A and B are shown apart, each in its own frame.
Chain A
Amino acid sequence: MSKFPEHIAIEKANPTAVLDWHERFGDRTLIVEAKQIVEVVRTLKDAFGYDMLVDLTCVDYLPRRPRFEMVYHFLNVESKARLRVKAQLEESHARVASLMEFYPIADWFEREVWDLFGIKFEGHTNLKRIMLYEEFEGHPLRKDYPKTKRQPLMGPQN
């Protein structure tokens, strides 16, 4: 397998940005340095025309370190090319730059990840819960959130 063009271009601009990469069944994945996600996305959008952020989510790999992994799915609407970008985050530094300036849809995606995983997005202008209610404490999709814990607004606790 040879490096794909996006990989080469990102490496040229930011030599330390790409940590790993793989390609299976035509699905291409780049694992990048979380601190450089903005530069990576800028290259992908400006030079390769990835104009749609199809999905932005997070995975909790507890007890692995680094614990969290951000997953971004990009699509070039014109050429139908797809690219997956992952960035790993330590629990002690669960924050990453917001992509709001590139993709307006990142606003809601990032609020969802903040709500359910508790990842902070730097530069997000309105980072508050989108699914759960304001009274909810904690982030329920984290693996260490107790499975049976309930926080009802009314009615019995369980």
Chain B
Amino acid sequence: MSELIQSPTMDMTRSLSSNVMTTRFDKLLGWARKYSLFQYPFVTACCGMEFMSTACSHYDLDRFGAAFPRFSPRQADVIWVVGTISHKIAPVLKTIYEQMADPKWVVSFGACASCGGPYDNYATVQGIDTIIPVDVYIAGCPPRPEAVLDGLLKLQELIQNQKHEWK
């Protein structure tokens, strides 16, 4: 009797195992989103050179699915804040961040964007996290392209494991 009840389940498991993969929907979304990052480069200073270097073919950001710069915040998933942010441009940065559609992420690129860098003066914002929430900080002045790629991988890891809004 017990064999009769078990066998259909066993059969189903056996036949499905090679054709179906089970996962959580959050994980599936994370996997899809982390490999399709449209980026908005908010480039204000010399770190931009390293960003360009990383984005071009030698280091090739495209390998990680993050090759497509969109110069409209409406179409961007991640904003790279690359360089010194002055008090004068801070409201612009805030506006652009708010114009981005969810889900969105922020990468703080280099010492200046992360903490003001060497500029502790009347003109410079002491870290963009005083204005907008930051997901990944990349250290360096400026960061090497390897550090930038590492930052991107950290961001992808974060996207893969985070809770996604989809209901």
Chain B 3-16 against A: per-residue CB contact (8 Å), 1 yes, 0 no?
A: 00000000000000
Q: Does B122 contact A (CB under 8 A)?
A: yes
- Of the candidates B88, B94, B122, B125, which one forms a contact with A145 in the assembled complex, judged by CB atoms under 8 Å apart? B122
Nearest chain A CB to B30's CB is how many angstroms away?
A: 31
| Closest partner residue, chain A, to B129 (CB atom) | A155
| Closest partner residue, chain A, to B88 (CB atom) | A133
Q: Does A153 contact B (CB under 8 A)?
A: yes
- Of the candidates A131, A151, A154, A158, which one forms a contact with B91 in the assembled complex, judged by CB atoms under 8 Å apart? A154
Contacts between the two chains (Cβ within 8 Å), count? 33
- Of the candidates A147, A149, A154, A158, which one forms a contact with B90 in the assembled complex, judged by CB atoms under 8 Å apart? A154
The answer to whether A151 touches B87 (Cβ under 8 A) is: yes
| Closest partner residue, chain B, to A134 (CB atom) | B88
The answer to whether B90 touches A155 (Cβ under 8 A) is: yes
Q: Does B130 contact A (CB under 8 A)?
A: yes
The answer to whether A154 touches B122 (Cβ under 8 A) is: no
Nearest chain A CB to B9's CB is how many angstroms away?
A: 59
Q: Does A143 contact B (CB under 8 A)?
A: no
Chain B 113-134 against A: per-residue CB contact (8 Å), 1 yes, 0 no?
A: 0000000011101100011000
Nearest chain A CB to B50's CB is how many angstroms away?
A: 26
Known: A154-B131, A155-B131. A149 touches B91 (CB 8 A): no
The interface size bin for chain A is 10 to 19
Chain A residues whose CB sits within 8 angstroms of the CB of B125 once the complex forms: 152, 155
Query: Among the interface residues B87, B90, B123, which one has the most CB atoms of the partner chain A within 10 A?
Result: B87
Q: Does A49 contact B (CB under 8 A)?
A: no
Q: Does A66 contact B (CB under 8 A)?
A: no
On chain B, the number of residues with a Cβ less than 8 Å from chain A's Cβ atoms is 12
Chain A 130-158 against B: per-residue CB contact (8 Å), 1 yes, 0 no?
A: 01110000001000010101111111101
The answer to whether A133 touches B87 (Cβ under 8 A) is: yes
Known: A155-B130, A155-B131. A140 touches B123 (CB 8 A): yes
Nearest chain A CB to B114's CB is how many angstroms away?
A: 15
Chain B residues whose CB sits within 8 angstroms of the CB of A133 once the complex forms: 87-88
Nearest chain A CB to B5's CB is how many angstroms away?
A: 65
- Of the candidates B88, B90, B91, which one forms a contact with A132 in the assembled complex, judged by CB atoms under 8 Å apart? B88
Nearest chain A CB to B79's CB is how many angstroms away?
A: 17
- Of the candidates B94, B121, B123, B126, which one forms a contact with A154 in the assembled complex, judged by CB atoms under 8 Å apart? B94
The 8 nearest A-B residue pairs measured at CB: A155-B130, A140-B122, A152-B87, A133-B88, A155-B131, A156-B130, A153-B91, A153-B87
Which residues in B have some Cβ–Cβ distance to A below 8 Å?
A: 87-88, 90-91, 94, 121-123, 125-126, 130-131
Which residues in A have some Cβ–Cβ distance to B below 8 Å?
A: 131-133, 140, 145, 147, 149-156, 158
